Structure 1
Amino acid sequence: MTDSKSETSPSEGEPRLSAVDRLVEDLREMFARRSLRVGDALPTERELGEMFGASRNTVREALVVLRAYGLVETRPKVGAVLASGHGEALRRLFSFHDGISPGEFRDVQGFRRLIEIGIGEDILKRAEPADFDALDRVNDRILKAETSTARAQADYAFHEALIALGANRTTLTTFRFLRPVIEDLMRVGKDARPVQANTHETHREIVAALRAGDRLAYAYLMSRHLDYGLRFVPGPRETD
């Protein structure tokens, strides 16, 4: 088995990730740290491998993921360059100029429900007590967040860590693809109700249901959690 398929042990507050997933996150952090602009050339595959201690295959797979995100594209005679990014395009697509309507909110939450409730069975099959301990530590971050943006980022981190426990890279990549949109929606809710303790307690209950191996309780709690934010969405409430 190559290192592109291996998993790293969970560090403080972090779920286990494959070498490819970890490199994708490292590369995204590098883009931000270096303040790279659209069109800037990236280091070669060999150079990236040396920088991050990754094999050539791992680097190539990570670049494939970043191309799927729309963050990287290949240009003749130049190689890999930073692209405009589907994430920003999605943010513009879901930029609700007249406020977020209940219908639009339901569309995004419906997508999340399919993923986050559906992943429950896979989590219960694969996760170990240590994984739930790490998930609790991720959840604790929201209590230390001081702004609505920081709270939204901490909230998203919990849900991403939860999905990562399902060990389905396609599902995790799809969820990360919508991160700008999901965080924007989370931030709207937290602007309306800056009570992160409530979110933290709900997350704690979700983790407790997983610890108990109670799939039905997990599905109920997650569904209730995803529906709760609707009351803070501006505009007339839709009926079911």
Structure 2
Amino acid sequence: MHYVQFNPILSMHPNYHQQCIQFYIKRWTAIIAFILYQSCVNNQKEETLSLYKYLFFGFCIPFSISIYPFFTHDYGFAGISCWIKEDYINNSYRSTIIRYINFYIPLIIIILYNSIIYIIIICKLYGISEQQTKFIYKMISYPLILIICWIFTAFNRTYEEISQQQQIWLLYLSKALSGLMGFFNYIGYGFTPQVRESCSFYCCANKSKTVQIELELKQQQNRDLTQNTQETNSRNSVDSQRDSIQGDLSFIAGLY
């Protein structure tokens, strides 16, 4: 019977890349929240910080934090996955401290920061107009998705450290939700009415011709509306040019 030997060198690289990617995603949600706050609350349309400062906060800091366990050989086999390895012999608290510094404390800080910022923005914009109200519903999904996907991971780790026991359902729930962040982002931002109409068209075309006819009528109405808008803009442009030319001719005639 053959056993696969655990190679710590090979496990370090995916651990490092996974740590970096997770850090990048969470920090850039905080950057988006900061930019929206400056634009919606402080009415600052220009860039408050330079691009290099955003890149430093979004990439350089996560890179520095994630690469530290790589050189101290703290990446390794940790239960059901490879991450910060357990060290029960030399220092049992070392892995816990590194995990909280590298992941859980920044995660909780970013969740709290995003939640506070979006609450302030919602209180500022709520009820002003229907368009801004729809924009508010979109903004709520930013911190909500982050909380849903990662709050159970923080609960699971904290529970394990305090009780020295493992709840298998909480472990599976945390692993499942942490991998669904991209799916929830698609539902929140990418599943637009146009995408839903297209999905309904392709899924229900063989079952109902009525849906197909309605979608074709809507698409035709959208094309007609776009064409009418373009024609109106073209006429307005021609009228504006004609008025400008007539004004110039009147000015020249007045000179003579």
TM-score class, shorter-chain normalisation, is under 0.3
TM-score scaled to structure 1, two decimals? Answer: 0.25
- Max radius of gyration: which structure? 2
Give the helix-richer structure, 1 or 2.
Answer: 2
TM-score scaled to structure 2, two decimals? Answer: 0.23
Greater RCO structure (CA 8 Å; 6+ sep): 1
